[in-house]
């Protein structure tokens, strides 16, 4: 059975769950009930080492919701470390715990979270913008088993067209590279810049 649910989200939730299940962690309970394999687990900011191993073995995906983590979970997800340990992570919003359903905002918050997690740690390697974009696209598609997330042959065409000429601080100069444009877009684009949206090859906006 595949599920999408919150897990190891806050100190009080973790404590309450343990009180109900003889001290077992959230992941141990889900694994015992057959609900961890291939599932999507939101937040996971209070994971213990045993839970990290269980998530990895079950090929479950953590839905990283950085804005909601600020507001409600009260924790920061060490995405880089988890990915390096072989845990699947994708990006989410969980708007009930924040103020924005925008994946553009979620990408920016993910970058901020990574920088905060690495503050004062000389061995921390910052996530690249490309890695964060992957969390918002291909990683999410894999978690949900959808044939989207990349422009590879055979994938369904889910895409947004970003128009930098629509005002705000987003400006593109002719000499800038694709990487420069991606960097600016991820940092500065908002709803006004979305000139077109396609879902499964069908244009639904613009």
Q: What is the pLDDT along the chain (206 residues), one digit of tens a residue?
A: 789 999 999 999 999 999 999 999 999 999 999 999 999 999 999 999 999 999 999 999 999 999 999 888 778 999 999 999 999 999 999 877 778 889 999 999 999 999 999 999 999 999 999 999 999 999 999 999 999 999 999 999 999 999 999 989 999 999 999 999 999 999 999 999 999 999 999 999 99
Residue pLDDT, tens place only, 158-199: 999 999 999 899 999 999 999 999 999 999 999 999 999 999
- Quote the CA–CA distance of 7 and 3 in Å, as a whole number: 11
Task: Pick the closest to residue 87 from 149, 142, 12 (CA basis).
Answer: 142
Predicted local confidence at residue 72, as pLDDT = 81
Query: Residue 109 contacts by C-beta under 8 Å, 6 or more apart in sequence?
Result: 66, 67, 70
Task: With residue 105 as reference, give the H or E element that holds it.
Answer: helix 103-117
Q: For the chain, report the end-to-end CA distance as a whole number of angstroms.
A: 38
Two structure tokens written together for 57? 């073995």
- Quote the CA–CA distance of 38 and 62 in Å, as a whole number: 10
- Quote the CA–CA distance of 56 and 88 in Å, as a whole number: 7
DSSP structure class, residue 128: P
Dihedral Cα 20, 21, 24, 30, nearest 10 deg: -100
Is the Cβ–Cβ distance between 8 and 27 less than 8 Å? Answer: yes
Two structure tokens written together for 64? 């990283």
């Amino acid at each position: 059975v595949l599920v999408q649910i919150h897990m190891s989200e806050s100190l009080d939730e973790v404590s309450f769950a343990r009180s109900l299940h003889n001290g077992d962690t959230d992941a141990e309970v889900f694994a015992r009930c057959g609900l961890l394999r291939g599932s999507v687990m939101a937040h996971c900011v209070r994971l213990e080492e045993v839970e990290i191993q269980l998530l990895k073995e079950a090929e479950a995906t953590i839905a990283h919701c950085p804005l909601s983590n600020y507001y409600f979970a009260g924790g920061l997800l060490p995405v880089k470390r988890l990915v390096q340990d072989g845990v699947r992570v994708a990006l989410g919003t969980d708007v009930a715990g924040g103020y924005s359903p925008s994946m553009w905002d979620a990408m920016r918050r993910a970058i901020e979270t990574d920088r905060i997690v690495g503050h004062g740690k000389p061995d921390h390697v910052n996530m690249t913008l490309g890695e964060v974009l992957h969390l918002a696209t291909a990683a999410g598609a894999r978690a949900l088993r959808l044939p989207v997330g990349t422009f590879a042959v055979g994938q369904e065409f889910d895409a947004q067209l970003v128009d930098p000429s629509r005002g705000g601080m987003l400006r593109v100069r002719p000499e800038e590279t694709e990487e420069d444009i991606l960097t600016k877009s991820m940092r500065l684009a908002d709803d006004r810049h979305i000139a077109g949206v396609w879902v499964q090859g069908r244009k639904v906006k613009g």
